[in-house]
Amino acid sequence: MQFLENEIREFEEIGRIAYQLIIQGEFRNANRRLRKLKNSSYASQAERIRIPLEALMLQCKGQRAEARELIKLSIGYLWSSADAFALFRSDNPLVTPNSKLLKIEILGGDLAVGMFACFNHSSIATVEVIAEDEAEGIKFIDELLCFCSPQERTIVSCTQLSDEIPQDEHKGVTWLLPVHQIDH
């Protein structure tokens, strides 16, 4: 257990240094640091640090579409990463006075999460999204997640969590629990 904790601390330090290098425009040095994370035996922890930083670097280079695609393909590692979701939302429109934070639960539709396997029709995805209404929320969810059978998915619930969204926020997905099973 101590080894894992040390490894995670090392990942965080690599991430902190790489972030500073990216902000300074030293992309080659940042890439050199981030490569150290690619061969870790703790892939999911390393990827949660590496991918948002690589996406940030792409954005800083003006490659915004590539940054979004990297996050989308890797969302299975990033489902709890606020940084990744903020980067993904950054090209979406800013919030309006009608924007709300919604929690939408979706049943079925054979959900594919990034490059990970599909989850079957008896699974629920829970997504928090900044949008004006459920329809706009679903539009933003569809940008990030792939429902292999969207006509078979069902909106289980849509709950407003807040209507106090900072005005400098962008609309879109803020949090994701990609799959949990229905309790029978």
Biggest CA pair distance of the chain: 53
In a domain, 95, yes or no: no
pLDDT of residue 80: 77
Burial 152-162 (b: 16+ CB within 10 A, else e): ebeeeebeeee
Which of 64, 89, 114 is where one domain is finished?
89
pTM of the model: 0.80
pLDDT of residue 4: 67
Mean pLDDT is lowest, of 74-78, 87-91, 140-144, for 74-78
Instruction: Looking at the structure, tell me whether residues 104 and 162 fall in a common domain.
Output: yes
Which of 56, 89, 122 is where one domain is finished?
89
Instruction: Looking at the structure, tell me whether residues 116 and 56 fall in a common domain.
Output: no
In a domain, 36, yes or no: yes
pLDDT of residue 116: 55
Note the pLDDT tens digit of each residue in 89-138. Answer: 998 999 999 999 999 998 876 565 555 555 566 778 889 999 999 999 99
In a domain, 121, yes or no: yes
Instruction: Looking at the structure, tell me whether residues 28 and 81 fall in a common domain.
Output: yes
Which of 89, 108, 130 is where one domain is finished?
89
Note the pLDDT tens digit of each residue in 146-155. Answer: 776 667 778 8
**Confidence check: pLDDT of 158 > 90:** yes
User: What is the residue range of 163's domain?
Assistant: 100-181
Give the count of domains, the chain.
Answer: 2
Structure tokens at 30: 């940042």
Burial 127-147 (b: 16+ CB within 10 A, else e): bbbbbeebebbbebbebbbbb
Instruction: Looking at the structure, tell me whether residues 111 and 166 fall in a common domain.
Output: yes
Note the pLDDT tens digit of each residue in 15-48. Answer: 899 999 999 999 999 999 988 888 776 777 788 8
Instruction: Looking at the structure, tell me whether residues 81 and 117 fall in a common domain.
Output: no
In a domain, 85, yes or no: yes
Instruction: Looking at the structure, tell me whether residues 83 and 131 fall in a common domain.
Output: no
Instruction: Looking at the structure, tell me whether residues 108 and 177 fall in a common domain.
Output: yes
Instruction: Looking at the structure, tell me whether residues 40 and 115 fall in a common domain.
Output: no
In a domain, 75, yes or no: yes
